[in-house]
Amino acid sequence: MSRFFATGSDSESEESSSADEITPKAPGTTFKQSLLLSDDEEDTKRVVRSAKDKRFEELTNLIKTIRNAMKIRDMSKCLEEFEQLCRAFLKSKNIVDKEGVPSFYIRLLADLEDYLNQLWEDKEGKKKMNKNNAKALSTLRQKIRKYNRDYETEIAAYKENPQESADEEEEKEPEDSGSSSDSDGEAGDGVSAKAFLKKKPDAAPEASKFLKSAKGSEDESSSSDEDEDDDDDEDWGSDTVESGSESSDDGEGRSASLAVVFLKKAQETEKSGTKRSGKKKKLKKERLEEEAEEEGGEEAEGAWEKVKGGAPLVKEKPKMFAKGTEINIPVVVKKLNEILQARGKKGTDRAAQIELLHALAGIANENNLGQGISVKIKFNIIASLYDYNPNLAAFMKADMWKKCLDCIDELLDILFDDNNHIFIGENIAEDSENLAVSEQPFRVRGCILTLVERMDEEFTKIMQNTDPHSQEYVDNLKDEGRVCGIIDRLLGYLENKGSTEEICRVYLRRIMHTYYKFDYKAHRRSLGLQGESKSEQDQEESEGEDSAVIMDRLCKFIYAKDRTDRIRTCAILCHIYHHALHSRWYQARDLMLMSHLQDNIQHADPPVQILYNRTMVQLGICAFRQGMIKDAHNALLDIQSSGRAKELLGQGLLMRNMQERNAEQEKIEKRRQVPFHMHINLELLECVYLVSAMLLEIPYMAAHEFDARRRMISKQFHHQLRVGERQPLLGPPESMREHVVAASKAMKMGDWRTCHSFIINEKMNSKVWDLFPETQRVREMLVRKIQEESLRTYLFTYSSVYDSISMETLSEMFQLEIPTVHSIISKMIINEELMASLDQPTQTVVMHRTEPTSLQNMALQLAEKLGSLVENNERVFDLKQGVYGGYFNRDQKGGYQQKQSYQRDQKGGYQQKQSGYQRGGYRNQNQSNY
């Protein structure tokens, strides 16, 4: 029996479900049920769709989910939904075989493959992915490549003209639903949708009980009649499939008689055709709008939402408390704990959590619940701001950083306002907290020092991750004044309320922001200079104590009170660095020697080792400025000889193989890097080292020219000399190294003027010497050292040529005072570097000619080399004699030994255990061995 007879009314027939969902019922029950239907149920319409529409809708829903997952880079979700899509497509195989593969499906496959390839090539993005997403990416990429092989032609056609294929898809979608239902209706019943006309009043008597009469419809207004017809037009197209199939079951005769009840007017079918074409255009327009929204820019945070056109919807903030709730401290604490329980859980919106905490703080202030609860909420707000980036390597965004500084300032304001009434500490249990307003002081669990230390670390991370050559770096660096201000305020608070350990920790934070800064105002005062304008002079007077006084006070407190070696070690190193930076060489040197840090620094953690390296480098540069060339060379030797100065000073990473350092170690080392504004100029450092090596090495090379056992003072300096000698074409020097090599060659010849012109010129001034605070004094010191060392080199090189030489002549040649020349020559004679004597009345140097000539030096070298050759020859001969006749018998360890082994005696000879050979005679004592 057809469902049109079972339901009994026109409106109810529109509510009926598809044919496969109908179950046979007794005729009596349907009559009773139809009487029980309410007016609301009669008005609502249920759309009956074909199997194709259902399957395609399922596919499109899965595709939308995949596209949303692509936008937020959720590879795990993409993989899961893609597998579901493949299963759903397999279920739709019968429909796909008839209709062909839908365009939207091909479009997704092509887009997904391109998207995955793009992600795969993005190495930096892959590193940032979590483990699950990275694994899902590789799995999905393999699956999609394998799956797309079956649709290569369709994907290629789509990629050639993606716009056309998208338009075709939009046009087909509305048409297919109507055409498929029409064709199915014709197959089932032989009557098309256009053949149905509106029912007439003389319908069958059985149906007339439940159908709307013609009179009733005529009595209604024409406008409502037209609306009803429009709704019928939209739903009847797809209903014909089921109606046709069911009516065929009841027999041809009965269907023909009752079809009249549901026939529609022929004139209205024409209207439906025109409305359907208008509907197509409307659908197409909506589809384009949806795509534009989908392809729009990705939002930084939050869930994906579809926003309808028109005025933007304002989201209502979640209500903190129910209406009429009495807001008191227990209620607020309970709400605070509820918010904090979501902290750290997967899927928690951290930004929303921070907003909730701010709202809770506002409610607490509005209801005057006291400063105790405000402090507790502030602690949790700051902790939530730190937790906003769960990744350790990630740094805080600018807006979060500003919020963090503001919250800490507000917290310190509360603590200073009620300094005597609020007691905070880590060791206060939550049960023993006192948040209520009473005569007792507030007791709040928390540690302000830990928050400030974390803030300082976040500031360092921000500076590490900002491009040092951009304006953004300068803007971020301006926040250091605010960070130091917060540390100073905390320092004042803890000096009154904190323990000794906490004071030492906050003192170290203040020291770390001071030790590397050169105090120009203190330097000007030490030189006796005053500000140019009166305002500058007033500013200098109003300013507090010098950085040297501050460092001295803070460090001495740590030396006396600290119980942990690490804080004391860091304080000593910072103090030495600050002394060296301000040219207080003797204080810095004495503090370094007294601390004995060089003995056990290898056991310290890497950040302390980096600080030690920076301190040693600064100490070496300070010694150079003071003219202590040997001390400067010794201090810089370890750092420069390694060839890894950049890495040892924490100023960058050198390229290495993955075997030496994996990705995780690289991340850890990047976190240890020193921010750019604290860097030491590596070119200046290398120049100071090479010039120091030149001033030591060139006179030494001249004194030991023919000494075969001459040692090298600086390997790096010799390497630069060899590189310079290998140059096929010698042009004017360009780089700093080439200038030093050219100066060294001039100094070898005793030509101090050429040496001076290579070391001190405009190019070298701009690169190196102008970077020192006392530029002119350093240049004068350098000229003096070049003159003195050139004089020594000249005397070593040409002493064999002279019988005697006047000190006045030497003084004129090297533009040195006669007492200075006398002093240098006297030292050389005392140290037995120069075989000569001074004739005081005539002011001359008389050479004693005890040095061998160049020919004698060469003969001595030849004799020494021949001696070593004879010794080696004898050893080889010993080995041959020992294994005569039997050659080698290989032992188990892979070596070659004679059965009767040889042992080396204490004097260096070789003896056999039983009848061995003794060095010097080579005599066979036991004839039976041969």
- Of 610-624, 629-643, 722-736, the range with the lowest mean pLDDT is 722-736
Q: Could you tell me the pLDDT band of residue 46, with boundaries at 50, 70 and 90?
A: low
Q: Could you tell me the pLDDT band of residue 198, with boundaries at 50, 70 and 90?
A: very low
The Cα–Cα gap between 427 and 312 comes to 49
Q: Is the pLDDT of residue 331 over 50?
A: yes
Residue 626: CB partners within 8 Å, gap ≥ 6?
583, 585
Answer for the pair 264, 234: CB distance below 8 angstroms, yes or no.
no
Q: Is the pLDDT of residue 644 over 90?
A: no
- Of 207-211, 433-437, 507-511, the range with the lowest mean pLDDT is 207-211
Q: Which tokens sit at 519?
A: 């105090």
Q: Could you tell me the pLDDT band of residue 659, with boundaries at 50, 70 and 90?
A: low
- Model confidence pLDDT, tens digit, residues 886-911: 444 444 444 444 444 444 444 444 44
The Cα–Cα gap between 49 and 878 comes to 104
Q: How far is CA 616 from CA 578, 591, 621, 792, in A?
A: 12, 12, 9, 29
Q: Is the pLDDT of residue 834 over 70?
A: yes
Residue 828: CB partners within 8 Å, gap ≥ 6?
792, 795, 834, 836
pLDDT at 759: 92
Q: Could you tell me the pLDDT band of residue 287, with boundaries at 50, 70 and 90?
A: low
Answer for the pair 640, 647: CB distance below 8 angstroms, yes or no.
no
- Of 81-85, 130-134, 313-317, the range with the lowest mean pLDDT is 313-317
Q: Which tokens sit at 223?
A: 């406008």
Longest CA span, the chain: 156
Answer for the pair 393, 671: CB distance below 8 angstroms, yes or no.
yes
Q: Which tokens sit at 81?
A: 């939904």
The Cα–Cα gap between 393 and 458 comes to 10
Q: Which tokens sit at 128?
A: 């940032």
Question: What 3-state DSSP class applies to 155?
Answer: helix
The Cα–Cα gap between 414 and 371 comes to 7
Q: Could you tell me the pLDDT band of residue 643, with boundaries at 50, 70 and 90?
A: confident
Q: Which tokens sit at 804?
A: 């005697």
- Model confidence pLDDT, tens digit, residues 384-395: 888 887 776 778
More confident call, 649 vs 654:
649
% of the chain at pLDDT higher than 70: 69
Question: What 3-state DSSP class applies to 576?
Answer: helix
Residue 149: CB partners within 8 Å, gap ≥ 6?
none
Q: Which tokens sit at 462?
A: 């921000």
- Model confidence pLDDT, tens digit, residues 534-586: 455 555 554 567 889 999 999 999 999 988 889 999 999 999 999 999 999 99
Beta strand spans in 669-754 (E): none
| 679: Cα separation from own chain's centroid | 20
**Whole-number mean pLDDT of the chain?**
75
Beta bridge partners of residue 579, listed in sequence order: none
Residue 126: CB partners within 8 Å, gap ≥ 6?
119, 120, 134, 137
The Cα–Cα gap between 690 and 682 comes to 12
More confident call, 591 vs 204:
591
pLDDT at 617: 95
Answer for the pair 512, 487: CB distance below 8 angstroms, yes or no.
no
Q: For the whole model, what pTM was predicted?
A: 0.60
Q: Is the pLDDT of residue 271 over 70?
A: no
Position 212: which residue type? Answer: K
Q: Which tokens sit at 526?
A: 């030490």
- Model confidence pLDDT, tens digit, residues 873-883: 988 888 877 64
The fold adopted by the segment(s) 681-847 is Arc Repressor Mutant, subunit A (1.10.10)
The Cα–Cα gap between 1 and 12 comes to 16
Q: Which tokens sit at 343?
A: 């902290």
Q: What are phi and psi of 454, to 5 degrees?
A: -65, -40
Q: What are phi and psi of 845, to 5 degrees?
A: -110, 120
Pairing label, strands 442-445, 422-425: parallel
DSSP notation for 421-461: TEEEETT--STT-B-S-SSSPEEEE--HHHHHHHHHHHHHH
The Cα–Cα gap between 374 and 706 comes to 82
Angle at 113 between CA 296 and CA 284, to 5 degrees: 45
CATH 1.10.10.10 in the chain: give the residue spans. 681-847
The Cα–Cα gap between 516 and 556 comes to 18
